Chains A and B, each alone.
Chain A
Amino acid sequence: MGKLDGKSAIVTGASRGIGKDIALYLAKEGAKVAVNYSGSKEKAEAVVEEIKALGGEAFAIQANVDQSEDIKELVSATLEQFGSIDILVNNAGITRDNLLMRMKEQEWDDVLNTNLKGVFLCTKAVTRQMMKQRAGRIINITSIVGVSGNPGQANYVAAKAGVIGLTKTSALELASRNITVNSVAPGFITTDMTDALPEEVKTQMLSQIPLAKFGNTEDIAKAVAFLASDDANYITGQTLHVNGGMFM
């Protein structure tokens, strides 16, 4: 029996990376999952197949998180399929890294729209249903850099710091309806991108991590599943750092 049996979840940006593992892990814990994607239809469908192979329930659905019409569709399709929305994981995110001096307005806008406005739109869209249910869990994926800052990522850092503020305010507004809102802030997580880094860069980065290893996507998925479960009933408005002690 899983921690999330009978629950239904939406995971945005779930076709790959951290979002994919969140979708898979929530499903392993018994949740039905709406696997949202923006462009990678085949990858999203592969995630759905993987969940079904485990005996779970899932469907893939396209929606751009910064488009309110898309999000309305996402929410109504999920309700139609599952009959409730118990968990929303705002994971979809992009990067357009550049030094502040070189950053184009478009790069700023794209990242803020997807990574911050997207969280607002998705949260607003599920809140109606969660208020009716008198229950709901919203988990936002922020980042260590949203707290620490990071050169070359002014847009991304601003968006991720914004997500933490949005988390706290949504938590305050929705607490009386038994809806909790929390963030998870990953540190250095192993992905295809980090695998390709030169050895000396990896060694240098490892030296900054007290636990002396990189995190993996499942570490993040487990933190999300915890916050989505009944074990986290009394936790709201918080940011859970999953970073091997890299930042405290």
Chain B
Amino acid sequence: MSTVLERVTKVIVDRLGVDETEVKLEASFRDDLGADSLDVVELVMELEDEFDMEISDEDAENISTVGSAVSYIESKQS
């Protein structure tokens, strides 16, 4: 069973076409990984599918880095 970070990393690599090594916890989607605002919206959509959960628009606004995505998902799973 993959960890949350591994699964999030895979979604990011597939969506943004970045190298796995660039996907660090502190990396910002927009500033470090080259995502535009619509990419971030799509990324959140794909995370919803991957983890079978619904992320509200308000929560989605706070997901801007790899780490914030991982900790948000972990907090909802426990």
Contact surface of A with B, Cβ cutoff 8 Å:
128, 131-132, 173, 176-177
* A177-B42 Cα distance, complex, nearest whole Å: 10
Could you list some 9 contacts between A and B, CB below 8 A? A128-B45, A131-B38, A131-B41, A131-B42, A131-B45, A132-B45, A173-B38, A176-B38, A177-B38
Residue interface bits B33-44, CB-to-A below 8 A is 1, else 0: 000001001100
Which residue of chain A lies nearest to B46 when distances are taken between CB atoms in the complex?
A132
Closest chain A CB from B62 CB (angstroms): 20
Closest chain B CB from A171 CB (angstroms): 13
Where chain B touches its partner, the secondary structure class is helix
Tally chain B residues at the interface, Cβ within 8 Å: 4
Where chain A touches its partner, the secondary structure class is helix
Which residue of chain A lies nearest to B49 when distances are taken between CB atoms in the complex?
A132
Closest chain B CB from A133 CB (angstroms): 12
* A131-B41 Cα distance, complex, nearest whole Å: 10
User: Which residues from 9 to 56 on chain B have a C-beta closer than 8 Å to any C-beta of chain A?
Assistant: 38, 41-42, 45
* A176-B38 Cα distance, complex, nearest whole Å: 9
With A132-B45, A176-B38 given, can you name 7 additional A-B contacts, CB distance below 8 Å? A128-B45, A131-B38, A131-B41, A131-B42, A131-B45, A173-B38, A177-B38
Write out the residue numbers on chain A whose beta carbons fall within 8 Å of the beta carbon of B42. 131
Which residue of chain A lies nearest to B39 when distances are taken between CB atoms in the complex?
A176
Write out the residue numbers on chain A whose beta carbons fall within 8 Å of the beta carbon of B45. 128, 131-132
Write out the residue numbers on chain B whose beta carbons fall within 8 Å of the beta carbon of A132. 45
Which residue of chain A lies nearest to B42 when distances are taken between CB atoms in the complex?
A131
